[in-house]
Amino acid sequence: MSESLQELEQEFLDYVKKISAFEEALSLVYWDLRTGAPEKGATQRSEVIGTLSGEIFKMKVSEEMAAFIAGLWVEKVNLSDVTRRSLEECKKEYDLNKKIPAKEYEAYTKLVAQAETIWTTARASNDYDLFKPYLEKIIASKRKFVEYWGYQENPYDTLLDQYEPGMTVAVLDDVFAKLREAILALRKKVEAASYQPDATLLHKKVSKAKQKEFSERILTKMGFDFEAGRLDDTVHPFATGLNIGDVRITTRYDEANFKMAVFGIIHEGGHAIYEQNISPKLVGTPLANGASMGIHESQSLFYEIILGSSFEFWQSNYKDFQEITAPVFDDVSVEEFYRAVNLSESSLIRIEADTLTYPLHIMIRYELEKAIMNGEIGVDELRDAWNDKYEAYLGVRPETDADGILQDIHWSGGDFGYFPSYALGYMYAAQLFATLSKEIPNVSEILASDDYSPIREWLTEHVHQYGMLKKPLEILTNTTGEGLNPDYLIQLLNDRYNFIYKLNEA
Amino acid sequence: MSESLQELEQEFLDYVKKISAFEEALSLVYWDLRTGAPEKGATQRSEVIGTLSGEIFKMKVSEEMAAFIAGLWVEKVNLSDVTRRSLEECKKEYDLNKKIPAKEYEAYTKLVAQAETIWTTARASNDYDLFKPYLEKIIASKRKFVEYWGYQENPYDTLLDQYEPGMTVAVLDDVFAKLREAILALRKKVEAASYQPDATLLHKKVSKAKQKEFSERILTKMGFDFEAGRLDDTVHPFATGLNIGDVRITTRYDEANFKMAVFGIIHEGGHAIYEQNISPKLVGTPLANGASMGIHESQSLFYEIILGSSFEFWQSNYKDFQEITAPVFDDVSVEEFYRAVNLSESSLIRIEADTLTYPLHIMIRYELEKAIMNGEIGVDELRDAWNDKYEAYLGVRPETDADGILQDIHWSGGDFGYFPSYALGYMYAAQLFATLSKEIPNVSEILASDDYSPIREWLTEHVHQYGMLKKPLEILTNTTGEGLNPDYLIQLLNDRYNFIYKLNEA
């Protein structure tokens, strides 16, 4: 009996290893398409994507997979941690797919494929009405799926759980309320401040080569392993872990906006360092990934926002930046520079938002998605609701759909429940940093040095190594001793913007 | 009945399309590994290679494939050209694999994997004796396989046919004898010539950027489509067609040897232009490849040797080269330059050989392989036989195994029968050029222009478009009106080296 369980376990591990191999090939195909594949090969390459995706999907919902789940689930307690958690993930995905009748799932797949194309056209022509019927169908499908999948308290919980296992409306309503209040209060002070940073500094010309040189130096300090990764150019920056020994990041350069690439690279570097440091024992299983979207984002934001946007960081690195870009910033002090890169301004577009306003963009989407999934709002009211919320939270009102409700691709792909991860990332990062600062008291000394490895090692010890072996809330609680707490982010924002806008100097 | 045949035909085409998709993904993985994949990802990437190769192999020898062959073979005459030729190729591969008992094939696969590693060590330590026992086993397996596969006149024919369908010992013995005699006679005159080109010109320093700039200009003139391909750096240059809209070439630069990259890029560009111009109707079938190794090589050599090493080519392009590399070649005339890049010299290493001596390197390998496969020579006599032949044909004798019998990787991988393709490529190219020169009388005018498209179009019309739809000898005969004829290459070599060594000026 015990021997036959071992055999079944091994067969299961071989099976998921094969899925991982197909997924790695697929990731490489996507990376290649987004970094320099010749245009004329794209049509045929989509056949490759179709074949590999099809194979992966087939394996995940196959009768073989059903047999593994049936055979191993009853023996869960006798399995290794890695097998058990892999099995749980496989079962979760199997159930998600199998609970929807095949025909409905197929129709939905076609719908979202069409909807993405329509969304692109609608955004380009500022025409929400064009997109509306598709959005309506997607919402109807998604609500029906939630019925198939089931839910406890709130239908939207089921969707949240797909991106952030364990996250609920009850938790988010609470933390977002606190965070919103704090941000709105701080925003008021910032807007009224007599000192305003010099935004023109952000548009001084810095060549691509110089932006790259500086960013690569920072990546190296952070602990990005160039023997286990690479940095390439792309249009829409991303990080992709092909395997833990090959994690690639990409960026876009604008010579009149150095901030985009420099902070973008630090951000993607944070994602990459996470995946480079997942435990080798998880390789070839579904666990060799980030614990959740929110935890993944917490790692990129830890480097971009917590460290990379701190004054200590720039005190240490500004000299290098000045030297590399000389003479452009010769007459700009580190304080002026620091305040400029961190200025806060209401804006319409989420992906261009600063640290302080970004969570507000997320809350708007969260509130709308929740209302949508609870049937409290229909597609006809959605545009006005969007615009009203922007006016209420950010004091700006979109004049076009492209600057408003059509700006994000997510809904066209049916990705409801994804947005909150971004804001969770901010809160997780601040909360982790508070614990790290207690356990490593000399963080500013580390930031003043050429080697940030104590920080990287701390993150690896508490977060990276586990991949998906632990669930997001488990990681947070084990590390910080408490559940999600927005106070750390609120404190950090207050301290930071008080300094930037000289709010205590009046 | 007819409808059911159509259905079966469609199922078969879908099946081979899926194989093609896996093959495309696998090619991308290899390209990536050879052009810049991070080192630490390589171990895990080999899992991907194993999974994809395994899937491809499984599909090619599956019961489904057997059923397609059984169902469609009897209906061959009612199939479209594309399906019929695809079926033939699938059947050929199916038979090759299925005729060997599975256990023997598996043992052989392991043997060659080991042998390649041993060969690397043996070459590095100049130790043929280390490699000998592996080579002996590979030869024994290969001879046994030939028995399984069967042969008509000569066991070696069966191996030749795998790389160059239809090629036989009877044909090769004849053409190689003529070619050898001509080359040896010409080599004698070249060695005795009072004029010798100035070899030092070949080692003038040219930066990588300049080599690249010039080569890309030539590629563009040749008709390489940069929207359907790209050029990257690598260690061992190659061309790879992922699909006809994405054909990638690679090169290596040595600043003290511009010839390597410049001619290497022209060579790989010839391979790539072939694949870029295969008919779209063959995409997704096994026919979207070169007709054979020899025909593929004929296209790279057509551009590298026939066009790119002609005096007309350099008369037209040398000015550009001088400008880009200025002032390095300012005081070198086009005649001096041309004679230097085409100088002929006996050497020990095949891949460093010049146009005139290269076929001799191939003949040595051909004669030894033929003897091996006919059991006329054993591994113990092989090193002496190799060295004796080098002395006889090239007048040089290897002092080490690395410069002799261990220089090529081919035998360690069991690739007997492959070498002749290279020499066939020379002969095919010269023969095709003779016909082209009749049909397009103003070739030198075209070479003097900025646009070589009439040449590219002629090659596409007669060679490229067909992919594997036609067999190599069919392509040659349809285009030139005769079978393989070494006289065209002999004539070209005589004309060229008479000019280079001023043999008629005495």
pLDDT for res B506: 58
Beta bridge partners of A246: A243
pLDDT tier at A506, thresholds 50, 70, 90: low
Look at residue B1 and tell me whether its pLDDT is greater than 60.
no
B180, two tokens: 């050898």
Distance of CA A423 to the CA centre of its chain: 9
Percent of chain A with pLDDT over 70: 99
- The answer to whether the CB atoms of B226 and A38 lie below 8 A apart is yes
A interface test, pick of B28, B275, B279, B282 with most A CB neighbours within 10 Å: B28
Rounded Cα gap, residues A213 and A216, in angstroms: 5
Rounded Cα gap, residues A266 and A310, in angstroms: 13
Q: Are B462 and B479 in contact (CB under 8 A)?
A: yes
**Nearest CA-CA distance, residue A64 and chain B, Å:** 17
Look at residue B254 and tell me whether its pLDDT is greater than 80.
yes
CATH code for the domain defined by A199-337+424-480: 1.10.1370.30
Give the one of B25, B225, B230 whose C-beta lies nearest to A25's C-beta. Answer: B25
Q: Which residues in A lie closer than 8 A to residue B279 (C-beta atoms)?
A: none
Nearest to B307 by CA among B359, B355, B255, B361: B355
Calculate the CA dihedral of residues B442, B445, B449, B453 and round it to 10 degrees.
Answer: 10
**Nearest CA-CA distance, residue B141 and chain A, Å:** 31
pLDDT for res B498: 97
**Nearest CA-CA distance, residue B284 and chain A, Å:** 8
Query: What is the number of CB-based contacts under 8 A between chain A and chain B?
Result: 120
In the block, tokens 């985009």 appear at: A260
Mean pLDDT calculated for residue range B191-218:
97
pLDDT tier at B253, thresholds 50, 70, 90: very high
Mean pLDDT calculated for residue range B292-319:
97
A interface test, pick of B30, B49, B246 with most A CB neighbours within 10 Å: B246
pLDDT tier at B112, thresholds 50, 70, 90: very high
Rounded Cα gap, residues A109 and A112, in angstroms: 5
List residues of B whose CB lies inside 8 A of any A CB: 17-18, 20-22, 24-26, 28-29, 32, 36-45, 47-48, 50-52, 55, 225-230, 242-246, 248, 283-284
Q: What is the pLDDT of residues A141-157, one digit of tens each?
A: 999 999 999 999 999 99
**Closest residue in B to A241 (Cα–Cα):** B41
Q: What is the pLDDT of residues A279-297, one digit of tens each?
A: 999 999 999 999 999 999 9
Rounded Cα gap, residues B219 and B234, in angstroms: 18
- The answer to whether the CB atoms of A243 and B44 lie below 8 A apart is yes
Taking CB atoms within 8 Å and a gap of at least 24, the contacts of B164-170 are B164/B292, B164/B293, B164/B294, B164/B420, B164/B421, B164/B424, B164/B472, B165/B292, B165/B471, B165/B472, B165/B473, B166/B471, B166/B472, B166/B473, B167/B294, B167/B420, B167/B424, B167/B472, B169/B370
**Closest residue in A to B19 (Cα–Cα):** A51
What's the whole-number average pLDDT of chain B?
A: 96
pLDDT tier at B3, thresholds 50, 70, 90: low
What are the structural domain ranges in chain B?
A: 2-98
Q: What is the pLDDT of residues B355-382, one digit of tens each?
A: 999 999 999 999 999 999 999 999 999 9
Rounded Cα gap, residues A403 and B175, in angstroms: 72
DSSP state of A376: S
Q: What is the pLDDT of residues B130-161, one digit of tens each?
A: 999 999 999 999 999 999 999 999 999 999 99
- β-strands B246-251, B239-243 pairing: antiparallel
Q: What is the pLDDT of residues A481-498, one digit of tens each?
A: 999 999 999 999 999 999
B134, two tokens: 């592996």
Give the one of B52, B246, B283 whose C-beta lies nearest to A38's C-beta. Answer: B246
Look at residue B78 and tell me whether its pLDDT is greater than 50.
yes
Look at residue A137 and tell me whether its pLDDT is greater than 60.
yes
| From B9, B23, B164, B268, the catalytic residue | B268
pLDDT for res A1: 43
Mean pLDDT calculated for residue range B12-30:
97
Q: Which residues in B lie closer than 8 A to residue A244 (C-beta atoms)?
A: 44
A interface test, pick of B17, B45, B240 with most A CB neighbours within 10 Å: B45
Q: Which residues in B lie closer than 8 A to residue A25 (C-beta atoms)?
A: 25-26, 28-29, 48, 51-52
- The answer to whether the CB atoms of A243 and B21 lie below 8 A apart is no
B interface test, pick of A48, A49, A240 with most B CB neighbours within 10 Å: A48
SS (H, E, C) B459-493: HHHHCHHHCCCCCHHHHHHHHHCCCCCCHHHHHHH
B interface test, pick of A18, A23, A24, A33 with most B CB neighbours within 10 Å: A24
> Cβ of B494: how many Cβ atoms within 10 Å?
16
pLDDT for res B462: 98
Look at residue B13 and tell me whether its pLDDT is greater than 90.
yes
**Nearest CA-CA distance, residue A255 and chain B, Å:** 23
Q: Which residues in A lie closer than 8 A to residue B38 (C-beta atoms)?
A: 226-230, 245-246, 248
Is the ipTM beyond the 0.90 threshold? yes
Give the one of A21, A229, A230 whose C-beta lies nearest to B47's C-beta. Answer: A21
Rounded Cα gap, residues A317 and A319, in angstroms: 6
Rounded Cα gap, residues B300 and B425, in angstroms: 8
User: Strands, E, within B71-190: which ranges?
Assistant: none
- The answer to whether the CB atoms of B41 and A242 lie below 8 A apart is yes
- The answer to whether the CB atoms of B32 and A37 lie below 8 A apart is no
Give the one of A36, A225, A246 whose C-beta lies nearest to B37's C-beta. Answer: A246
**Nearest CA-CA distance, residue B185 and chain A, Å:** 47
- The answer to whether the CB atoms of B45 and A17 lie below 8 A apart is no
Look at residue A220 and tell me whether its pLDDT is greater than 80.
yes
Distances (CA, A) of A429 to A233, A299, A490, B325: 27, 7, 12, 54
**Nearest CA-CA distance, residue A227 and chain B, Å:** 5
Rounded Cα gap, residues A402 and A258, in angstroms: 25
List residues of A whose CB lies inside 8 A of any B CB: 17-18, 20-22, 24-26, 28-29, 32, 36-45, 47-48, 50-52, 55, 225-230, 242-246, 248, 283-284
pLDDT for res B58: 95
| Cis ω for the linkage preceding A327 (within 30 of 0) | yes
**Nearest CA-CA distance, residue A123 and chain B, Å:** 28
Q: What is the pLDDT of residues A420-437, one digit of tens each?
A: 999 999 999 999 999 999
Q: Are A447 and A313 in contact (CB under 8 A)?
A: yes
Nearest to B137 by CA among B162, B164, B119: B119
Give the one of A29, A225, A246 whose C-beta lies nearest to B28's C-beta. Answer: A29
Q: What is the pLDDT of residues A367-413, one digit of tens each?
A: 999 999 999 999 999 999 999 999 999 999 999 999 999 999 999 99
pLDDT tier at A266, thresholds 50, 70, 90: very high
Rounded Cα gap, residues B451 and B408, in angstroms: 37
- The answer to whether the CB atoms of B226 and A41 lie below 8 A apart is no
Q: Which residues in B lie closer than 8 A to residue A18 (C-beta atoms)?
A: 51
- The answer to whether the CB atoms of A245 and B48 lie below 8 A apart is no
pLDDT for res B505: 79
In the block, tokens 């409290």 appear at: A376
Instruction: Return the active site residues of A.
Output: 268
- The answer to whether the CB atoms of A41 and B17 lie below 8 A apart is no
What's the whole-number average pLDDT of chain A?
A: 96
Q: Is B296 annotated as a binding residue?
A: no
Give the one of B22, B48, B245 whose C-beta lies nearest to A40's C-beta. Answer: B245
**Nearest CA-CA distance, residue B108 and chain A, Å:** 24
Q: Is B271 annotated as a binding residue?
A: yes
Look at residue B101 and tell me whether its pLDDT is greater than 50.
yes
Q: Are A419 and A368 in contact (CB under 8 A)?
A: no
- The answer to whether the CB atoms of B228 and A47 lie below 8 A apart is no
A470, two tokens: 């632990």
- The answer to whether the CB atoms of A41 and B284 lie below 8 A apart is no
Q: Which residues in A lie closer than 8 A to residue B26 (C-beta atoms)?
A: 25
Beta bridge partners of A233: A251
Query: B268 an active-site residue?
Result: yes
Q: What is the pLDDT of residues B402-417, one digit of tens each?
A: 999 999 999 999 999 9
Residues contacting A49, CB < 8 A, separation 6+: A26, A29, A30
Look at residue B59 and tell me whether its pLDDT is greater than 50.
yes
Give the one of A20, A44, A284 whose C-beta lies nearest to B243's C-beta. Answer: A44
Give the one of A21, A55, A228 whose C-beta lies nearest to B48's C-beta. Answer: A21
Look at residue B97 and tell me whether its pLDDT is greater than 80.
yes
